Amino acid sequence: MDKEILSKLKPLVGNSRQWDHFSNYLDVLIAQQHKTLEQSDNMITVCKAQGAVEALRKIRRLREDVAQAEG
């Protein structure tokens, strides 16, 4: 990923308290998608939920990506 883009996101991930709250919010959204996966009998819904979980996990890893781009 472009290091310049990641460096511009440093203020977003740099505040530990805010990041922790945001990360907890992402965890809730992931849990909701897992519930959808467990309860769905429709493959389209399953695929959408899987994609949502993947996207949310990538967002949750943003802090590590920014730190890695610095070092």
44 alpha-carbon distance from chain centroid = 21
On whether the CB atoms of residues 62 and 28 are closer than 8 A, the answer is no
Report the predicted TM-score, pTM, of the whole model to 2 decimal places. Answer: 0.88
Q: How far apart are CA 45 and CA 56, in angstroms?
A: 16
**pLDDT tens, N- to C-terminus, the chain (71 residues):** 688 999 999 999 999 999 999 999 999 999 999 999 999 999 999 999 999 999 999 999 999 999 998 87
- pLDDT, position 34: 98
CA atoms within a 13 Å half-sphere pointing along the CA-CB vector of 55: 8
